[in-house]
């Protein structure tokens, strides 16, 4: 009898463990490493879609850089008023980032297969409470990471690079602004 109870307990535990993994996988079908190589891998589907000239594929694959539940995420770090402003501005920010990247690749080598090389620069001061006098300030520190992104064409060795800011949320890097600071720390972020 006792042996049977142990077998039932272990079988139940196995089912619960398997269901837990399935739920996590359903929320985030692919998790990327929290390092520069993980960010490089995150760019691959977008770069393949660019090479094919697949506009829909580029849009779909770039969504991995978007904050999931952005309104809630901003609400965790900013006042309710600032979070509402940032949430509405974020859609434009991410759309502009995708358009700008496509434009840069078209200038460098249209239709080519690009490779991304990402180099961590460190944490951005824009994620801290003491971040300068411009834009909006978070209520608590945000782990904003800066990377130098280099995109190199495989066919003509053309390249370009820039600095971008990300937060790592739910197994992927989420874009929060280009240049030296996250978009909320720049002048005009609250407009």
Q: What is the 3-state secondary structure (H, E, C) of 8-20?
A: HHHHHHHHHHHHH
**So what's the pLDDT on residue 189?**
53
Give the DSSP H/E element, type plus range, for residue 4: helix 2-27
Q: What is the largest CA-CA distance in the chain?
A: 74
**So what's the pLDDT on residue 28?**
46
**So what's the pLDDT on residue 156?**
78
Name the one residue in this structure whose structure tokens are 């490089």. 40
Using the predicted structure, report yes or no on whether residue 74 has a pLDDT greater than 70: yes
| Domain range enclosing 128 | 39-185
User: What's the whole-number average pLDDT of the chain?
Assistant: 80
- CA distances to 29, 30, 86, 120, 185 from 144, in Å: 23, 21, 16, 11, 11
Give the list of residues 6+ apart from residue 191 with CB closer than 8 angstroms, or none.
Answer: 89
Mean predicted confidence (pLDDT) in 149-169: 91
Number of domains the chain contains: 1
pTM for the full model? 0.78
Q: Note whether residue 145 is domain-resident.
A: yes
Q: Note whether residue 15 is domain-resident.
A: no
Looking at the chain, the whole-number percentage of residues with pLDDT higher than 70 is 75
Q: Note whether residue 61 is domain-resident.
A: yes
Q: Note whether residue 29 is domain-resident.
A: no
**So what's the pLDDT on residue 135?**
66
Predicted confidence band of residue 130 (pLDDT cuts 50, 70, 90)? very low
């Amino acid at each position: 009898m006792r042996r049977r109870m142990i077998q039932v307990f272990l079988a139940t535990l196995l089912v619960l463990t398997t269901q837990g993994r399935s739920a996590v996988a359903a929320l985030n079908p692919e998790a990327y490493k929290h390092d520069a190589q993980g960010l490089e891998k995150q760019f691959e589907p977008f770069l393949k879609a660019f090479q094919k000239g697949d506009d829909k594929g580029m849009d779909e694959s770039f969504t991995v850089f978007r904050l999931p539940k952005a309104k809630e995420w901003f609400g965790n770090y900013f006042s309710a008023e600032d979070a509402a402003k940032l949430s509405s501005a974020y859609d434009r920010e991410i759309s502009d980032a995708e358009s700008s990247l496509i434009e840069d690749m078209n200038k460098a080598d249209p239709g080519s297969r690009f490779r991304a090389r990402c180099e961590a620069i460190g944490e951005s001061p824009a994620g801290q409470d003491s971040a300068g006098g411009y834009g909006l300030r978070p209520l608590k520190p945000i782990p904003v990471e800066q990377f130098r992104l280099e995109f190199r064409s495989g066919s003509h060795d053309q390249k370009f690079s820039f600095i971008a800011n990300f937060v790592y949320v739910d197994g992927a890097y989420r874009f929060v602004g280009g240049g030296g600071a996250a978009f909320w720390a720049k002048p005009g972020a609250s407009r």
